[in-house]
Amino acid sequence: MGRIVLAAFAVILITVLVMNAPTTTSPTSGTSREVQQPRVEEKASLRMLQAKYKTLSKQLAQLMPNQPYILVDTARNRLYVKRQDEIVLDAIASTGSGTILDKPGEGNDQWIFDTPRGEFLVQSKITNPTWIKPDWAFVEEGLDLPKNSAERAEPGVLGDYALGFGKGYFIHGTLYTRLLGKNVTHGCIRLNDNDLKGVYKLARVGTPIMIF
């Protein structure tokens, strides 16, 4: 009887020991795993955030022009040709005066002589350009609009070159070099002869023009 009780006690003891074995043998390892796990997750999350940030930085960098571009600061009347961060050409310009002129017989419609702001492209490159005077040039002088379009042509006032960037706006030369550095134009961008030649050489059709 005593042997049977002893054997049963031994079986129970062994069973209890075996059942408790994993928790009792390494109590510290379980605790350390609980502490380390969030750290590993945090590190993985941080790595993911870093990777996302780097990918987006690259995407943004890829949108930047890898060819020279023209930058125009209308507040300070400066024109730059830049290649990434490098300034290739720095010129004093004249940009839009911001004045207004009423359009004849069109209610409250007005011309606003601002240089347009934003991003544009060089659309045309012209040598020995002739100015085709728009309506405002006649209205401003108090003249009637010409019936013959040939009367609008005025050669020799835009310099040797002109670079068109849409809607009748050009980068061109000027006879009034003393006004460079001032906001005096009807929206076009004026340069002196040397700078105009430099811009003409550096720019191609499709060169971006950033104006602010």
Partner 1 sequence: MNLCAILLLLAFTTPGWGKEPEAFPDLNLADGQALKEASRVLEEEVKLAARSQTYVLIDLATKIIHIKGRGMDLHQIPIISWASNSHDHLKGIHKLTMRPAVVRRKIEPGAATEQEPIAVDDMPVDYVLTFTPALTITVVPSASADSLLKGVVFLGKAWWRQTRSLAGTLFSDQSSKQGGQLQLTVSGDHAQSLAWSLVDGMAVVIRRASNP
Question: Which residues of this protein are in contact with partner 1, per CB under 8 A?
Answer: 42, 45-46, 49-50, 52-54, 56-61, 63-65, 71, 73-76, 97-102, 112, 117-121, 139-143, 182-184, 208, 210-212
| Residue 22 or 168 having the CB closest to partner 1 | 168
Q: How far is the CB of 130 from partner 1 (least distance, A)?
A: 24
CB-CB contact of 200 with 163 (8 Å): yes
Q: Where does residue 91 rank: exposed (0-12), middle (13-18), buried (19+ CB within 10 A)?
A: buried
Q: How far is the CB of 45 from partner 1 (least distance, A)?
A: 7
Q: How far is the CB of 85 from partner 1 (least distance, A)?
A: 9
| Residue 109 or 141 having the CB closest to partner 1 | 141
| Residue 140 or 160 having the CB closest to partner 1 | 140
CB-CB contact of 199 with 91 (8 Å): yes
| Residue 69 or 161 having the CB closest to partner 1 | 69
CB-CB contact of 79 with 72 (8 Å): yes
What's the rounded Cα separation, in Å, for the pair 101 and 111?
Answer: 5
Closest CA to 189 of 39, 80, 87: 80
Q: How far is the CB of 48 from partner 1 (least distance, A)?
A: 9
Tokens 């004849």 locate to 104
Q: How far is the CB of 72 from partner 1 (least distance, A)?
A: 9
18, 118, 206 from 60: Cα distances, Å:
61, 18, 20
| Residue 19 or 56 having the CB closest to partner 1 | 56
